[in-house]
């Protein structure tokens, strides 16, 4: 029996730097997708990301991050909430005056003073937030539905009247009564010139299947563009965001490294790379700068990432097990779905208890050191013993010491 594998070599699942599953592109799968012709990314690192407990972005920090986001190719940047403080206002205004390609947005409550602050900051657009979820609206805020409707109409009309691109941000919309939510959005669409609606899964309580149902249901009620703003409370923000897009949402809200309140927001780098490789989306990003952008946000936010964080983790392309390294050395894409250089990351090899002969040979080759088979075996034995003693991997210095000891002997 001989299998013809040639069809696996050509297709959108296969590139010079990636090889994902061809099942992603099966006809039955593609028929379920309703992605818009163009998808825009709205980055919330500077506003929602800063709401991570303990993060404070200074004015100059926000400018550096905004410039990096623009350089990578993000479509829109939510620079902050101008009424928070004078420094916040100045930071938003400075970013609006940078001459970026990205549209610069401010965040506001349903209050004229918030919108006035956004106007003074010279931003392109404003996001006006109002509670819509039953637990938030009724149980927590104890608002009447009419209050949200009246305040939203007034705020949107005021912002549009002053020339701002205006979005209504439906807080906790995924726990809202559908009749109330759709009625509110239809009223805004009919009685104002609102530009679109942001559907906030504020507490990450939506499943991917629920997201598709939710977006499709609202698309039958309104014609303005829908945007998805996901949170990661169940570790589902990336999946939920993509599901919403596949059902027709046109804009996805993300943050670099997924920073944000509680478990964070949908991760920019995860959503973008998944759309490119798993769904074949043609996105205008400089993917090779993702790791660099991630490191900048880590530095300025002082929030370290888990080393195995997808895409940009420090050790997400690092190996220790000998059997894994043996295969990886022969053909990298046999051991990973995409190469680290695609996103500006790097390969690495850790020496420790699970190392094998191939690990030692590869490491010695990188160091331009020749050793006999017996010497390699002795080095490997000492590496394993040292790793067990210290209950961890070896440092470069420790490995060099072992190599020197063996070769001298």
What does the pLDDT average to over 254-271? 97
Helices (H), 205-333: 208-219, 237-246, 268-277, 290-301, 322-330
Angle between helices 86-96 and 59-72 (to 10 degrees): 30
CA 292 to chain centre: 14
Tally Cβ neighbours within 10 Å of residue 56: 11
* Residues 376-399 pLDDT 10s: 999 999 999 999 999 999 999 999
Per the CB < 8 A criterion, the answer to whether 70 and 102 are in contact is: yes
Nearest alpha carbon to residue 44 among 99, 98, 81: 81
Nearest to 376 by CA among 390, 394, 396, 362: 362
CB 130 within 8 A of CB 110: yes
Going along the chain from its start, the domains and CATH numbers come out as 22-301 (3.20.20.70), 318-408 (no CATH)
Using CA atoms, how far apart are residues 5 and 242, in angstroms rounded to an integer?
30
On the CB side of 200, how many CA atoms lie within 13 Å of its CA? 19
- What is the rounded CA–CA span in Å between residue 361 and residue 376? 7
**b or e along 205-219 (b: 16 or more beta carbons within 10 Å of the residue's beta carbon)?**
bbbbebbbebbeebb
User: For residue 371, what are the contacts with CB-CB under 8 A and spacing of at least 6?
Assistant: 360, 364, 379, 403, 406, 407
User: Could you tell me how many residues make up the chain?
Assistant: 409
- pTM for this one? 0.93
Residue that the structure tokens 């928070």 belong to: 84
Q: Is 245 helix (H, G, I), strand (E, B) or coil?
A: helix
pLDDT at 289: 98
The answer, yes or no, to whether residue 36 has pLDDT greater than 70, is yes
Token pair of 331, please?
């053909």
133 vs 180: CA distance, rounded Å: 10
Q: What is the DSSP letter of 204?
A: S
The whole-number pLDDT of residue 324 equals 82
Rounded to whole angstroms, how far apart are CA atoms 40 and 397? 47
Where do we find the tokens 């609606």? 197
Exposure of 377 in the CB half-sphere (CA atoms within 13 A): 3
Average pLDDT, the chain: 95
On the CB side of 192, how many CA atoms lie within 13 Å of its CA? 30
Mean pLDDT of 41-66: 97
Query: pLDDT, tens digit, for every residue of 122-166?
Result: 999 999 999 999 999 999 989 899 999 999 999 999 999 999 999
Residue range 8-23: average pLDDT?
95
Provide DSSP, 338-370.
B-GGGGT---EE--STT--HHHHHHHHHHTT--
- pLDDT of residue 222 exceeding 90, the answer is yes
Res. 203: pLDDT tops 80: yes
CA–CA gap between residue 128 and residue 156 (Å, rounded) = 7
3-state SS, residue 151: helix
Dig out the tokens for 32 from the structure: 């379920």
- Is pLDDT at 184 greater than 70 in this prediction? yes
SS3 225: coil
Q: Output the pLDDT for position 1.
A: 65
pLDDT at 179: 97
CA dist 229 and 244 (Å) reads 10
Give the gyration radius of the chain's Cα atoms: 25
pLDDT digits (tens, 9 = 90+) for 302-360: 999 999 999 999 999 998 887 888 888 889 999 999 999 999 999 988 889 998 888 89
Residue 325 vs residue 204, higher pLDDT: 204
* 330 C-beta neighbours (distance < 10 Å), count: 10
Give the residue-averaged pLDDT of 223-236: 98
List the helix and strand counts (H, then E) for the chain: 15, 10
pLDDT digits (tens, 9 = 90+) for 81-93: 999 999 999 999 9
> Mean of the pLDDT values across residues 196-215?
98
């Amino acid at each position: 029996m001989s299998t013809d594998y040639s069809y696996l070599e050509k297709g959108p699942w296969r590139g010079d730097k990636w090889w994902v599953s061809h099942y992603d592109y099966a006809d039955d799968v593609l028929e379920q997708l309703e992605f818009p012709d163009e998808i825009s990314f709205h980055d919330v690192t500077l506003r929602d990301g800063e709401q991570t407990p303990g993060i404070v972005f200074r004015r100059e920090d926000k400018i550096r991050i905004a410039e990096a986001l623009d350089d990578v190719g993000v479509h829109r940047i939510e620079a902050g909430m101008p009424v928070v403080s004078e420094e916040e206002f100045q930071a938003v205004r400075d970013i609006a005056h940078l001459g970026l390609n990205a549209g610069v947005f401010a965040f506001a409550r349903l209050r004229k003073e918030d919108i006035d602050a956004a106007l003074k900051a010279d931003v392109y657009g404003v996001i006006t937030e109002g509670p819509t979820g039953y637990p938030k609206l009724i149980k927590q805020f104890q608002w009447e539905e009419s209050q949200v409707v009246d305040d939203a109409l007034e705020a949107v009309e005021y912002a549009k009247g002053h020339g701002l691109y205006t979005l209504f941000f439906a807080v906790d919309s995924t726990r809202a009564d559908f009749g109330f939510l759709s009625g509110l959005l239809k009223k805004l669409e009919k009685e104002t010139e609102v530009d679109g609606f942001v559907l906030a899964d504020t507490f990450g309580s939506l499943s991917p299947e629920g997201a598709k149902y939710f977006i499709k249901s609202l698309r039958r009620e309104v014609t303005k563009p829908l945007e998805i703003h996901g949170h990661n409370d169940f570790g589902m923000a990336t999946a939920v965001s993509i599901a919403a897009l596949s059902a027709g949402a046109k804009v996805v809200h993300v943050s670099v490294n997924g920073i944000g309140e509680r478990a964070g927001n949908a991760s920019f780098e995860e959503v973008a790379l998944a759309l490119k490789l798993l769904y074949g989306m043609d996105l205008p990003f400089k993917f090779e700068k993702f790791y660099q952008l991630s490191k900048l946000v880590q530095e300025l936010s002082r929030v370290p990432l888990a080393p195995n964080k997808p895409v940009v983790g420090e050790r997400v392309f690092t190996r220790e097990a000998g059997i894994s390294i043996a295969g990886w050395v022969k053909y990298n894409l046999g051991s990973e779905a995409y190469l680290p250089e695609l996103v500006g990351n790097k390969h690495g090899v850790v020496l420790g208890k699970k190392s094998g002969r191939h690990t030692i040979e590869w490491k010695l080759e990188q160091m331009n050191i020749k050793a006999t088979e017996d010497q390699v075996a002795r080095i490997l034995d000492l590496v394993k013993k040292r790793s067990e003693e210290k209950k961890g991997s070896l440092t470069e210095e420790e490995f060099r010491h072992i190599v020197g000891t063996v070769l001298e002997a």
